[in-house]
Amino acid sequence: MPEAQARFVAADAPAGPLPQPHADQPLGQFVPVEGSVPTTPHLAPAPAQALTLPPEALEAPEAAEPVAAVPTPREGDPELVQHAEDLDTRAADQEDPQDPQNPQDPQDQEEMSTAPVEDVRQSTGPAAPAYDDAEREAVLKVMRERRDIRNGFRSDPIPHEVLLRVLEAAHTAPSVGHSQPWDFVVIRSAETRGSMHELAMRQRDAYAKSLPKGRAKQFKELKIEAILDTPVNIVVTADPTRGGRHTLGRHTQPQMAPYSAALAVENLWLAARAEGLGVGWVSFFDEREMVRALGLPEHLEVIAYLCVGYVDEFPDEPELMQAGWSKRRPLSWVVHEETYGRRALPGEEPHDLLGETVAQIRPLDAKALGEAWERQKRMTKPAGALGMLEIISAQLSGLSRQCPPPIPEPAAVAIFAGDHGVHAQGVTPWPQEVTAQMVANFLGGGAVCNAFAAQVGAEVCVVDVGVAADLPATPGLLPRKVRAGTSDMTTGSAMTREEAKQAIEVGIETARDLVAAGNKALLTGEMGIANTTASAALISVFTDADPAEVTGRGTGINDETLARKTEVVRRALELHQPDPADPIGVLAAIGGFEHAAIVGLLLGGASLRTPVILDGVSAGAAALVARAIAPEVLAACIAGHRSAEPGHVAALNKLGLRPLVDLDLRLGEGTGALLALPLVQSTARAMHEVATFDSAGVTEK
Ligand SMILES: Cc1cc2ncn([C@H]3O[C@H](COP(=O)(O)O)[C@@H](O)[C@H]3O)c2cc1C
Ligand SMILES: O=C(O)c1cccnc1
């Protein structure tokens, strides 16, 4: 039996002392038949009892919280998120007076600073005093509790003196060369607000049309402006000519004028919060259209259109977070020590992104898993009738620690693109330029993955992790090139170990970005002419299969080229003698940048407890590498489909993953994963929507 799919076997009880697997009741258990993936479910009669995982794949219920020490949340401070573990939970305290990292007086602060400071004037006497605790807390509180408000405005008028204080606060903002480039146009007339509302509605529609379906559904539920609901609207403009041509600090950075005006907006916003006034910043405007509609001088830039009014309440969290549109990024993701990429919070050692990610990967949660099996039993259907999909829904529950699990929508496919030095060995009939050309095609919406993504409502995110050609900046393209293609693995290492790690980190960061942006499922995709050669080499190492068994026809090659490709794989393995116990070494020797990035996407997804649907042979190869780095990564992995490449079958068998779709696809790009997405979503939806025998009054047998 493949190792990992043995995870999903029948057991007596979902929680408590972990039961032994029932060898004779393999519901949904994936049993490979003579080394090939079965095309029909090998389902035994449905067991009456719950299904669960073997002990090693389970996390004891009491250990459901992260093991690593997480700073305790501070009451009334829901917003700060320092570490990834907190992404979905609560914040940590930065200003705990007991915390030696947060000194109270400047003397301590000096002691905490380890950086050598050169040429600093010798200080005499005490430094200027800080605010006292209550004052500082008030300042931090207003920043924490400022909200962008769209809902719950009241029509109560704003007294002049209140509005004046708010505008005065805005007017004290810092500005480039003290140019004070802002103006504030206070709009109260219903007619003007009506015409602004119309402009915004048009842009809202245009934006909605541009969204993937999975997102558009969510967006439809969102209120994006309160132009008509608020008694006062304020237009904040910037005059880029104010102060004359020699404005200090604007010489090389002309954008400093609008930045300054944006700081005035923030001041206004904070002061408004302190007055109990809600502010909503509407950015659904064509700026020039608004300038004309409001009759503003043409040389002004519009920085903000603000809706201001009293509110029923200030929500604890951003409205977009409450709506599941996005998540807050932890502070630890964004603070770098000395150089970009050396992430460390003050007082902490810089942490390694890969190590940190691996440390956060946990097995499926036993409690949620048990609840899922219980719920499956109570749903109005014969036990086990949803076959493999019951297993997936239980996996989603265990992964998210929630039953029913969140419906994995919206979803995004990350297509990692890279080129391959081994292309020089004549392993594919296609020229290398096709990689870059297909990237352009993905971005233009003309590839198969685009059609499938549109059909299932997923976002397409293209990442250049190693394309040979320089790619022009294009919306939707993430430029993350580690190097312009790997080296030829038959003559040396494809990548250095450092490059392989860098590409893994690209994948981790892609997972972080997509999950923080609100995606609830990630899909793997790739583009790289010759990458099936690297996939075959990786799979051979991790499955111990002979290159002849796992090297396939890729884009479609004749027997002669297949024989050459197989020999190329064999030669590379002989040259490097890769050691599967050193997965990053293997990846560096014979992998591709896109394989490494997929490894990172899998690890990143697992660390964020977000399901990752695997596509074809390159994803299978990458999953083998990821599993060798962190075995529990499989908790997040769902095999989307089975590709026609023989290596893919070997990889899935070794991983113990059973594919959801089996249609002889041999394309890549994420196409197989995209086709599987609705199946994964359906199973979660069933958990939410299907009635139980009790609730529907259906008699049980
Ligand atoms: C037009 C075209 C579109 C593709 N889309 C995905 N692939 C797929 O084929 C390539 C790997 O096959 P091999 O190892 O044989 O070169 C990868 O780019 C993979 O994504 C394509 C290949 C081509 C030619
Ligand atoms: O199935 C795949 O993943 C595949 C097959 C051929 C070429 N590229 C990818």
In tens, the pLDDT along 477-488 reads 999 999 999 999
Strand, coil or helix: 498: helix
- Check residue 95 and give its pLDDT: 38
pLDDT band at 123; cut points 50, 70, 90: confident
Which whole-number Å values give the CA distances from 47 to 23, 376, 429, 679, in the listed order?
A: 12, 11, 50, 22
Which CATH homologous superfamily contains domain 146-313?
A: NADH Oxidase (3.40.109.10)
Interatomic CA distance for residues 108 and 130, integer angstroms? 13
What is the position in ligand 2's atom list of the atom closest to the CA of 554?
6
Q: Which value does ipTM take for this structure?
A: 0.99
Catalytic annotation on 669?
Answer: yes
Give 526 Cα–ligand 2 centroid separation in angstroms.
Answer: 9
Q: Among the listed ranges 5-14, 283-292, 671-680, which one has the minimum average pLDDT value?
A: 5-14
Query: Percent of the chain at pLDDT above 90?
Result: 81
Largest alpha-carbon pair distance within the chain? 86
pLDDT of residue 117: 57
Stretch 261-266: mean pLDDT, rounded? Answer: 98
- 617 CB less than 6 Å from ligand 2? yes
Residue pLDDT, tens place only, 392-443: 999 999 999 999 999 999 999 999 999 999 999 999 999 999 999 999 999 9
Please identify which of the residues 137, 301, 669, 689 carries the catalytic annotation: 669
Convert the pLDDT of each residue in 559-608 to its tens digit: 999 999 999 999 999 999 999 999 999 999 999 999 999 999 999 999 99
Q: Which ligand is nearest to the CA of 618?
A: 2
Query: Confidence band (pLDDT; 50, 70, 90) for 118?
Result: low
- Least Cα distance to 662 among 683, 643, 637, 686 occurs for 643
Distance CA 263, CA 266 (A): 5
Q: Decide if domain 3-15+409-680 falls under CATH 3.60.10.10.
A: no
**HEC profile of 302-366:** EEEEEEEEEECCCCCCCHHHHCCCCCCCCHHHCCECCCCCCECCCCCCCECHHHHHHHCCCCEEH
**668 Cα to the center of ligand 1, angstroms:** 7
Contacts of 598 (CB under 8 A, 6+ apart): 416, 507, 524, 526, 618, 619, 622, 623, 626
Q: What does the pLDDT look like over 612-634, one tens digit per residue? A: 999 999 999 999 999 999 999 99
Ligand 2 centroid from CA 648, angstroms: 9
Q: Which residues contact 540 (CB under 8 A, 6 or more apart)?
A: 546, 547, 549, 550, 551, 569, 573, 647
Per domain, the residue ranges of the chain are 3-15+409-680, 146-313
pLDDT band at 112 (very low <50, low <70, confident <90, very high): low
- 521-544 pLDDT, tens per residue? 999 999 999 999 999 999 999 999
Query: Which atom of ligand 1 is the closest one to the Cα of 438?
Result: 3
| Closest ligand (CA of 617) | 2
Strand order in the sheet with 277-282: 182-187, 232-238, 301-310, 277-282
Banded pLDDT at 92 (limits 50, 70, 90): very low
What residue's CA is closest to ligand 2, atom 3? 616
Q: What is the mean pLDDT of the chain?
A: 87
